[in-house]
Amino acid sequence: MRAILPIALCCAGLLTGCGYFGYYKHTKAPWAPPEQASAVEFPSSLEKGTQFTGPMLAALKVAMDEYRPPGLNPDSLPLPDRCLARWEYINVRVLQVSDDLFFVEFTPDLRKCGPGLIVPDAGATYAIDGKGRILARDF
């Protein structure tokens, strides 16, 4: 019985350190208050919207996680990194070349970050295969 306690404490210590081993806890998206949500009127059609296929969306997700890892807190970064780490300042293009090849380009819009901000070679383009693997990256 006495030998179980040290083993249990050791296991408990390892389980709390999962963050050091690449564990990532998904945070749920915030929802607006009901009074604000009640004012939303859905359009009759989304036909003019941008359409992503499933494989295209999967390629985008892989590139997004590589460009800005999940769990990154932009507020903890110094300028200009704080600005470059916020999705609202990033323009994205996805090009599907074939069933098995996608290019995903991230281009920061530095005009939105603040006047006079210059960051050479900001952004990246990723080549993603149909299996969700990064083939190459170009800065």
Domain range for 74 is 51-139
- Report if residue 104 sits inside a domain: yes
End-to-end, the C-alpha distance of the chain in Å comes to 58
pLDDT over 90 (residue 94):
yes
Sequential DSSP letters for 15-83: HHTGGGGT--PPPPPP---HHHHTT----S--TTS----HHHHHHHHHHHHHHS-TT--GGGSPTTHHH
pLDDT on residue 95: 94
- Report if residue 73 sits inside a domain: yes
Nearby residues of 125 by Cβ (< 8 Å), 6 or more positions away: 103, 104, 105, 106, 137, 138
Mean pLDDT, the chain, as a whole number? 82
- Report if residue 72 sits inside a domain: yes
pLDDT on residue 22: 59
- Report if residue 25 sits inside a domain: no
pLDDT on residue 12: 53
pLDDT over 70 (residue 133):
yes
- As for how many domains the chain has, the answer is 1
